[in-house]
Structure 1
Amino acid sequence: MAWLHIVAPKGAVPTANSQCECGRNRSAVGKPRVLALIEDHTAHRDQCLLRTPQEGRTAA
């Protein structure tokens, strides 16, 4: 599982936390960094070894 928690109250600085069951834990403060974390979180979800099925993959 992967979690993305964003807090962006009107008129305040937004914050975000990204966590994954693989142990990855990232946080960001400020709009540009929060937007970057959202993209990073999405990319990690697609690449995480705990979330990506390993069956049928070839060895490197």
Structure 2
Amino acid sequence: MSAPPRPPLKSLPATTTGPRAAAQAAPGPAVGEPKGAARKGVPSALRPDPHQADGRYPVAWLHISAPRGAVPTATSKCLCGRDRSAVGHTKVLALIEEHTAHRDECPLRTNQEGRQAA
């Protein structure tokens, strides 16, 4: 005795002979569409910028990298053109002191402080 034939697992739609128009969406508001004032272009209430500039900006940077168990390195850069680097404990400590001393000697900082005082 043999089993009855199995129906096909997929049914393919009948192919059309020509192009046809797509179905139109139902009229109504779109999902996520703004309503009321936002639609009319009314500006939203914005808070003042909490990070307003006070006239200060960075002039010099000191970057120190001292991973545990590795040799420390440091770089000291300034907008006036000063660019120094150091490798090793003693040299990094010396560069930190030089960087701190450069604050008083930098022509960019001394001119700014003089203008503000005047």
Range into which the TM-score falls when normalised by the shorter chain: 0.7 to 0.9
Structure with higher strand content: 1
CA distance in 2, matches of 1:20, 1:45: 10
The alpha carbon displacement at 1:45 in A equals 1.2
CA RMSD of superposed structures (Å) = 1.3
Q: Which runs of 5+ in 2 are unaligned?
A: 1-58
Matched to 2:85, the amino acid is S
Please, which moves more after superposition, 12-21 or 40-49?
Answer: 40-49
Matched residue pairs, number? 56
1:16 counterpart = 2:74: yes
CA distance in 1, matches of 2:67, 2:110: 34
CA distance in 2, matches of 1:26, 1:45: 14
CA distance in 2, matches of 1:15, 1:2: 17
Indicate the SS of the match to 1:50.
Answer: helix
Q: How does 1:23-38 map to 2 (within 5 A)?
A: 23-38=81-96
TM-score (normalizing by structure 2): 0.45
Q: Percent identity?
A: 70
Higher Rg: 2
Moved over 4 A (4+): none
